[in-house]
Chain A
Amino acid sequence: FILMLSLTLGTMITITSNHWVTAWAGLEINTLAVIPLISKSHHPRAIEAATKYFLTQATASALMLFSSMTNAWSSGQWDITQLTNPPSCLLLTAAIAIKLGLTPFHFWFPEVLQGSSLTTALLLSTAMKFPPTTILLLTSHSLNPTLLSTMAIMSIALGGWMGLNQTQTRKILAFSSISHLGWMTIIITYNPKLTLLTFYLYSLMTTSIFLSMNSTNTLKLSTLMTSWTKAPMLNTTLMLTLLSLAGLPPLTGFLPKWLIIQELTKQEMTTTATTISMLSLLGLFFYLRLTYCSTITLPPNSSNKMKQWSIKKPVNTLTPTL
């Protein structure tokens, strides 16, 4: 319970901060609160995940502090929105990238997600991304667009390619998260509101996926195939949500992609827009594979017995379909 409280506290501090030190403090509180959550199950993989998480996040926070210090040294103030020193902008971008999990700093993310339970993974993918995104938003006017675009395109590409070869659902969702982060960062210097919109919609969709998978306890693709026996209605909505993540038009997930592409073309970045659309086709493929496994086909043997039922029922799984 207290961990939840600390998490909330940390997030609030970061969001409402105006000074670099308070931002850093909030981020540190978040990190420290999540570490025991990850390692709750005392599994070696979980411990390893926790360690990796700690190392990377600590590096990131240190870098962030470093950049704010150099900025303070050169400009004499600690305001978040007044980030004028170019190297510190770059360093800050790198730090936030590590925190979020953008390429080329994304390597920790799949393993950490794999090591944690499904609910913690949910937390990591949605709630923990929120403070760094806020910082990015606050400083978006002074960041280097080239760097951000490069990292974003690479994220989308790598998220697509890596996701193709996975069978563990948590890793698949990790790569989908990396990919969506790419979509978010590509538009941040041109229209930060779209980043926010993407983030909200993405967290909504991922939440429903994670919760659905939690109630049917599917950690692998093979488990996914028998999930129709446990909660058939849930299975159907899972399919729709997955396709929404992929970005198919009548579903909600299409909206951020469409607006981002429109914004990019307004900025005369049509090649970029085309490239990222093509690369998200790779993501579409593994979403379709998940859909195929869960809903469209039936496994060779049928099991009629119900396995575990979690107590929490998934909420708002229907909203992504609207």
Chain B
Amino acid sequence: METALLLNTSMLLTLTIILTPMFLPLLLKNFQSSPQTLTTTIKTAFLVSLMPTTLFMYSGLDSITSYWEWKFTMNFKIPLSFKMDQYSMLFFPIALFVTWSILQFAMSYMASDPHITKFFSYLTAFLIAMLTLTLANNMFLLFIGWEGVGIMSFLLISWWHGRAEANTAALQAVLYNRIGDIGLIMSMAWLASTLNSWEMQQMFSPMETPTLPLLGLILAATGKSAQFGLHPWLPAAMEGPTPVSALLHSSTMVVAGIFLLIRSHPLLTNNKTALTLCLCLGAMSTLFAATCALTQNDIKKIIAFSTSSQLGLMMVTIGLNLPQLAFLHISTHAFFKAMLFLCSGSIIHSLNGEQDIRKMGGLQKTLPTTTSCLTVGNMALMGTPFLAGFFSKDLIIENLNTSYLNTWALLLTLLATTFTATYSLRMTLLVQAESTRTPTMTPMNENSPQTLNPITRLALGSTVAGLLITSFMTPTQTPPMTMPMLTKTAAIIATTLGLIFALELANMTHTMTHPKQNNLLNFSSTLGYFNILTHRLSSTNLLYTGQKIATHLTDLSWYKKMGPEGLADLQLMASKASTTLHKGLIKAYLSSSALSILVILLSL
């Protein structure tokens, strides 16, 4: 009994700690939060949140707490309820750890920014929204968190709002998210009308759910997690500062969509169509993003595309009916992706704002710690054995190979794994190795502990996190244990192939003069022509239809032809016609009378 009490209390304590710096300045006059206070708060929250997690690990105790019900109508109540199960328990410390590291890094990265406190408050607000989403036990609270992260993403991407590209990117993010929200609201409406509740527990009935709400959920995940079709916002979101990219667009926000699917997994289990859709969509996304990452020259965009690719992989896992494995990948991915972003932020600052990898090189000698962590992160991303990424990624590919599902999805995923290795190695080589291509006077600096400590901390996490989490998470489905040797090593072989390709290509660049344009290169560098095709077409269509409706439909046809003026014209016509009949000839009158009488007599 006291375990449950301790669990709940510590969880609430964590939440309260995070909320404190947001509300205290409003209550006390002389208390102003500063970046330092916010960072310390998050660190405390992390340490406190370790307690419920360990409690959970040792007792396996799930808990659902309901407070204060909102009586919406007589029989539809929306309680404020938190669900503390394996997912939220594990997510809390990971998210808080990553956020702590990022906030510490941001103290040095954004030191020259006059509104740094506002920046930190935005980040904290985002964190609160994300945690609400994770803790939610009903769709209503989840939706609040969902929208919260969307809004904070908008505000943070357009942090440097004087820059036109930043504003466009933020708008793009909001629009694509909104399209996904349509799906979410549709599912919520279906749930409210069919099951009469938005609670997670009520959603889990063993029968087969119709495809419509599941399509809505998949649409929501596509929008939020940048699957193929609603993906352009993620690379564009790199306009925001690096801490923003690290927090939102690598670890936490973009996994919100996947998290939604994990939470509503029992709904998806029985519906083969939805599962296949997830599988194919994920495979498509992962390969597409990996292809685009091959020819990118901006370091942040490469990492953004790699995020996109890993999200596709998570979607594939959902399609394989393995939510736990998807969550494992979310957790491990958070570590190394955040670290990659922070490293790239440090490199960018050192090179005085240079983001193009063609203008970097030989940084291993000048920024040793940062580049070592970069290498570690890339290797974890590729799935090097026994680093963090291995535990999740390898398991996913093993399961994919031993399942009875779509071969095409399997092929695409393997190909994407190869590409992952290729672009990661490309990035590493161009940044660190060989001779320097940077300008001569650069403020190379990695001496401040505020920059280094987060990065090294996350590197430590990337190494051990996989092992830690898998040791303590009880799998709900038995993982495949025996498989042929080729299948077992498929992931490693694919990755090695990718590495070899990358080395070959790097060697080729020494002898080439000027790359000729060919179709493949064009496809990859313009992100598959997707942006160019869709953005202009859809907006012009919409505006044109609007104009047509306003002028032609409303003004012309309804007012002039069919409405009042049309009626007036009709009457005028009738009046003129009948006037010409009355000419005054009595013979005509009498004959018409006679004719009428004849007609009457004959017909009646």
> Chain A interface (Cβ within 8 Å of chain B)?
51-52, 55-56, 59, 63, 86-87, 90-91, 93-94, 98, 104-105, 107-108, 110-111, 144, 146-147, 158, 161-162, 164-165, 282
Complex alpha-carbon distance, A59 and B586, angstroms: 12
Which residues of A have CB within 8 Å of B576? Answer: 165
The 0/1 profile, CB within 8 Å of A marked 1, for residues 556-593 of chain B is: 00000000000000011011101100101010111011
B600 touches A94 (CB 8 A): yes
**Chain A proximity of B455: nearest CB distance (Å):** 82
Main secondary structure of the interface of B (DSSP, over half): helix
Which residues of B have CB within 8 Å of A104? Answer: 592-593, 596
**Chain B proximity of A20: nearest CB distance (Å):** 19
Complex alpha-carbon distance, A105 and B601, angstroms: 15
Q: Would you list 8 pairs from A and B whose C-beta atoms are within 8 A, ordered by A residue?
A: A52-B589, A90-B604, A93-B600, A104-B592, A105-B593, A146-B604, A162-B582, A165-B579
**Does B597 lie at the interface of the complex (its beta carbon under 8 Å from any beta carbon of A)?**
yes
Given contacts A107-B588, A108-B589, A282-B571, 15 further A-B contacts (CB under 8 A): A52-B589, A55-B590, A56-B589, A56-B590, A59-B593, A91-B597, A94-B596, A104-B592, A104-B596, A105-B593, A105-B596, A107-B593, A110-B582, A165-B576, A165-B579
Complex alpha-carbon distance, A146 and B600, angstroms: 11
B597 touches A161 (CB 8 A): no
Which residues of B have CB within 8 Å of A158? Answer: 578
B600 touches A147 (CB 8 A): yes
The interface on chain B, measured as residues whose beta carbon lies within 8 A of the other chain's beta carbons, has a size of 20
- Which chain A residue lies CB-closest to B587? A55
Complex alpha-carbon distance, A162 and B582, angstroms: 9
**Chain B proximity of A88: nearest CB distance (Å):** 10
Complex alpha-carbon distance, A208 and B601, angstroms: 39
**Chain A proximity of B62: nearest CB distance (Å):** 67
Which residues of B have CB within 8 Å of A51? Answer: 586
Which residues of A have CB within 8 Å of B604? Answer: 86, 90, 144, 146-147
- With A87-B601, A282-B571 as contacts: A52 and B586 at CB distance below 8 Å: yes
- With A59-B590, A94-B600 as contacts: A161 and B575 at CB distance below 8 Å: yes
Which residues of A have CB within 8 Å of B584? Answer: 111
- Which chain A residue lies CB-closest to B579? A165
**Chain A proximity of B204: nearest CB distance (Å):** 56
Which residues of A have CB within 8 Å of B600? Answer: 90, 93-94, 147
Complex alpha-carbon distance, A104 and B589, angstroms: 9
Which residues of B have CB within 8 Å of A162? Answer: 575, 578-579, 582
Which residues of A have CB within 8 Å of B575? Answer: 161-162, 164-165
**Chain A proximity of B367: nearest CB distance (Å):** 87
A161 touches B589 (CB 8 A): no
- Among A86, A144, A161, the most chain B Cβ lie within 10 Å of the Cβ of A161
B582 touches A107 (CB 8 A): yes
**Chain B proximity of A301: nearest CB distance (Å):** 30
**Chain A proximity of B600: nearest CB distance (Å):** 5
- Which chain B residue lies CB-closest to A158? B578
**Chain B proximity of A89: nearest CB distance (Å):** 9
Complex alpha-carbon distance, A144 and B596, angstroms: 15
Complex alpha-carbon distance, A282 and B568, angstroms: 10
**Chain A proximity of B148: nearest CB distance (Å):** 56
- Which chain A residue lies CB-closest to B595? A104
Which residues of A have CB within 8 Å of B582? Answer: 107, 110, 162
Complex alpha-carbon distance, A164 and B596, angstroms: 25
Complex alpha-carbon distance, A278 and B592, angstroms: 27
- Which chain B residue lies CB-closest to A86? B604
- Which chain A residue lies CB-closest to B588? A107
- Which chain A residue lies CB-closest to B598? A94
Which residues of B have CB within 8 Å of A147? Answer: 600, 604
Which one, A90, A107, A146, A164, contacts B601 given CB within 8 A? A90
B571 touches A164 (CB 8 A): yes
- Which chain A residue lies CB-closest to B584? A111
Complex alpha-carbon distance, A144 and B572, angstroms: 33
- With A161-B575, A165-B576 as contacts: A107 and B592 at CB distance below 8 Å: yes
The 0/1 profile, CB within 8 Å of A marked 1, for residues 452-465 of chain B is: 00000000000000
**Chain A proximity of B604: nearest CB distance (Å):** 6
Which residues of A have CB within 8 Å of B593? Answer: 56, 59, 98, 104-105, 107
- Which residues of chain B from 287 to 333 have any CB-CB distance to chain A below 8 Å in the complex? none
Complex alpha-carbon distance, A55 and B590, angstroms: 9
Which residues of A have CB within 8 Å of B589? Answer: 52, 56, 107-108
Complex alpha-carbon distance, A59 and B593, angstroms: 10
A161 touches B601 (CB 8 A): no
**Chain A proximity of B585: nearest CB distance (Å):** 9
- Which chain B residue lies CB-closest to A162? B578
Complex alpha-carbon distance, A52 and B601, angstroms: 25
Complex alpha-carbon distance, A45 and B373, angstroms: 115
- Which chain B residue lies CB-closest to A159? B578
- 10 closest A-B pairs by beta carbon, nearest first, are A107-B589, A164-B575, A104-B596, A161-B575, A165-B579, A161-B574, A161-B578, A94-B597, A165-B575, A105-B593
Complex alpha-carbon distance, A144 and B593, angstroms: 18
- Which chain A residue lies CB-closest to B592? A104
Complex alpha-carbon distance, A111 and B579, angstroms: 13
Which residues of A have CB within 8 Å of B586? Answer: 51-52, 55, 108
Complex alpha-carbon distance, A147 and B572, angstroms: 28
- Which chain A residue lies CB-closest to B599? A104
**Chain A proximity of B134: nearest CB distance (Å):** 63
**Chain A proximity of B547: nearest CB distance (Å):** 35
Complex alpha-carbon distance, A86 and B600, angstroms: 11
Complex alpha-carbon distance, A253 and B597, angstroms: 33
**Chain B proximity of A115: nearest CB distance (Å):** 11
Which residues of B have CB within 8 Å of A146? Answer: 604
- With A55-B590, A107-B592, A108-B589 as contacts: A91 and B601 at CB distance below 8 Å: yes
Complex alpha-carbon distance, A147 and B599, angstroms: 11
Which residues of B have CB within 8 Å of A105? Answer: 593, 596
Complex alpha-carbon distance, A52 and B585, angstroms: 9
Which residues of B have CB within 8 Å of A55? Answer: 586, 590
Complex alpha-carbon distance, A162 and B575, angstroms: 6
- Which chain B residue lies CB-closest to A111? B584
**Chain B proximity of A171: nearest CB distance (Å):** 9
Which residues of A have CB within 8 Å of B588? Answer: 107
Which residues of A have CB within 8 Å of B590? Answer: 55-56, 59
Which residues of B have CB within 8 Å of A90? Answer: 600-601, 604
Complex alpha-carbon distance, A87 and B601, angstroms: 7
**Chain B proximity of A58: nearest CB distance (Å):** 11
**Chain B proximity of A198: nearest CB distance (Å):** 24
Which residues of B have CB within 8 Å of A93? Answer: 600
Complex alpha-carbon distance, A158 and B576, angstroms: 11
Which residues of B have CB within 8 Å of A165? Answer: 575-576, 578-579
**Chain A proximity of B158: nearest CB distance (Å):** 59
Complex alpha-carbon distance, A306 and B6, angstroms: 107
Complex alpha-carbon distance, A55 and B601, angstroms: 22
